[in-house]
């Protein structure tokens, strides 16, 4: 009798342990499943916001490489700003593509280019004159001939000389004045004198 009672108790114990285990497993599974669903939801939401147009109430997908959809992105290629109302451009490109401003900008650009060209020419003239200067000095030494040939090669830009006057020849009323002023830049005083005569 007593042994049977003990068996019953053991069976009851095993049943309780089994039930607890089942409950634990079920809760564990539920936990894992809800975690998975939450994660998936979060990923979906992140994906949605990652690929959605930046405009708050726009559900369109953004264009590849941009933050806005084709309806809201500035029409200027490469520009990643949203359009301003009334144009297909962002505020900056609407202003930049405005015909009046455009014409003015092109004019300004042209002027700048001309200025750059003039400056480049000026630099050429300057470096040419400094070359003349150094060759003139070195000709004071023994290597008069070699400096002569080097100045000859550098005066390959002498065709530019006729266009550009680095010495402001027209500011001098006489060859003497000019030669007095620029003698050091030429081989000698006569050379400067001749330069003035040729340039007039």
What are the residues binding Zn ion (CB under 5 A)? Answer: 53, 55, 58, 60, 69, 72, 74, 76, 79, 81, 90, 93
Task: Provide the minimum distance between the beta carbon of 99 and Zn ion in the complex, in angstroms, as a whole number.
Answer: 17
Task: Provide the minimum distance between the beta carbon of 58 and Zn ion in the complex, in angstroms, as a whole number.
Answer: 3
With respect to Zn ion, which residue has the nearer C-beta, 63 or 169? 63
Give the integer Cα–Cα distance in Å for 31 and 41.
15
With respect to Zn ion, which residue has the nearer C-beta, 82 or 132? 82
With respect to Zn ion, which residue has the nearer C-beta, 95 or 170? 95
Dihedral sign, CA of 121, 123, 126, 127? negative
Task: Provide the minimum distance between the beta carbon of 96 and Zn ion in the complex, in angstroms, as a whole number.
Answer: 8
Token pair of 134, please?
């150094």
Task: Provide the minimum distance between the beta carbon of 86 and Zn ion in the complex, in angstroms, as a whole number.
Answer: 14
Task: Provide the minimum distance between the beta carbon of 84 and Zn ion in the complex, in angstroms, as a whole number.
Answer: 9
With respect to Zn ion, which residue has the nearer C-beta, 88 or 169? 88
With respect to Zn ion, which residue has the nearer C-beta, 105 or 126? 105
For the chain, the first-to-last Cα distance in angstroms comes to 143
Task: Provide the minimum distance between the beta carbon of 147 and Zn ion in the complex, in angstroms, as a whole number.
Answer: 58
Nearest C-alpha neighbor of 137 from the set 187, 100, 95: 187
With respect to Zn ion, which residue has the nearer C-beta, 75 or 169? 75
Token pair of 116, please?
């750059």
């Amino acid at each position: 009798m007593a042994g049977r009672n003990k068996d019953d108790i053991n069976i009851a114990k095993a049943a309780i342990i089994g039930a607890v285990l089942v409950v634990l497993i079920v809760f564990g599974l539920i936990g894992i499943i809800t975690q998975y669903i939450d994660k998936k939801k979060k990923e979906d939401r992140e994906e949605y916001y990652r690929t959605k147009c930046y405009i708050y109430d726009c559900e369109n997908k953004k264009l590849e490489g941009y933050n806005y959809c084709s309806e809201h992105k500035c029409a200027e290629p490469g520009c990643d700003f949203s359009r301003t109302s009334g144009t297909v451009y962002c505020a900056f490109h609407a202003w930049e593509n405005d015909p009046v401003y455009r014409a003015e900008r092109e004019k300004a650009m042209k002027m700048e280019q001309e200025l750059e060209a003039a400056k480049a020419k000026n630099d050429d003239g300057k470096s040419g004159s400094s070359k003349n200067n150094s060759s003139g000095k070195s000709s004071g030494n023994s290597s008069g001939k070699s400096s002569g040939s080097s100045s000859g090669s550098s005066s390959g830009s002498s065709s530019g000389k006729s266009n550009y006057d680095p010495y402001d020849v027209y500011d001098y009323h006489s060859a003497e004045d000019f030669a007095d002023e620029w003698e050091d830049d030429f081989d000698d005083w006569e050379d400067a004198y001749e330069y003035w005569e040729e340039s007039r």
